Chain A
Amino acid sequence: AQSVTQLGSHVSVSEGALVLLRCNYSSSVPPYLFWYVQYPNQGLQLLLKYTTGATLVKGINGFEAEFKKSETSFHLTKPSAHMSDAAEYFCAVSDRVGGAQKLVFGQGTRLTINP
């Protein structure tokens, strides 16, 4: 079965600083990888996804992530943090069980932006 590990349950950066949220996965097959963002008491919004092809994936709100097979990583970055980026971020891998696809999530990383 696939699994996802997000390193750091809380990350705090200053406004304008680099954002780096770490995600490592385990998968026995080429993975489909996702990053979602969640604002308080809301659902999850897709930031970006990797399926095949280019390993550097650009998403919404200036975020991007790079798939590194050798490191089994899919870290999320943004060059300059904005106050509106404060939220919880989830990395996920798509798992196929008995012909059905489902998402397996990491534990989440809460991002705080300091003014």
Chain B
Amino acid sequence: DGGITQSPKYLFRKEGQNVTLSCEQNLNHDAMYWYRQDPGQGLRLIYYSQIVNDFQKGDIAEGYSVSREKKESFPLTVTSAQKNPTAFYLCASRTGGTTDFGSGTRLTVV
């Protein structure tokens, strides 16, 4: 079945550590996105990529980095510069007018 796979489902990070969230899609979609979800704030765009080897900052890119070396993969790194990383992170991909979402990664700072 085609879809978007995010891993891990739960992730714990110590203060000062970088962590990488995985996102893989087999839908052959060109565009991919990372959103952050906090209670009562909806989803906010972190980074997006239209094609391989190209990506743009979204509304809240500070403290995050991404890469797009393959069409299928769009990993997100949460760096130590992100002061409040505890949140639910959603990866998405799009073709035409429809955007599909992965099942999310819940990141907690311990």
Contact = CB atoms under 8 A, between A and B. Distances in A.
Interface stretch (A62-70, A76-84, A98-106): A98-106
A90 B90 contact: no
B17 interface: no
A101 B40 contact: no
B33 A49 contact: no
A102 to B, nearest CB: 6
Contacts of B44: 105
Interface residues of A, number: 24
Given A51-B97, A101-B94, A90 B48 contact: no
B50 interface: yes
20 contacts: A41-B88, A41-B104, A43-B90, A43-B103, A43-B104, A44-B43, A44-B90, A44-B92, A44-B101, A46-B98, A49-B97, A94-B97, A99-B50, A100-B48, A101-B31, A102-B48, A103-B43, A103-B99, A105-B42, A107-B41
Interface of A: 9, 32, 34, 36, 41-46, 49, 51, 90, 94, 98-103, 105-108
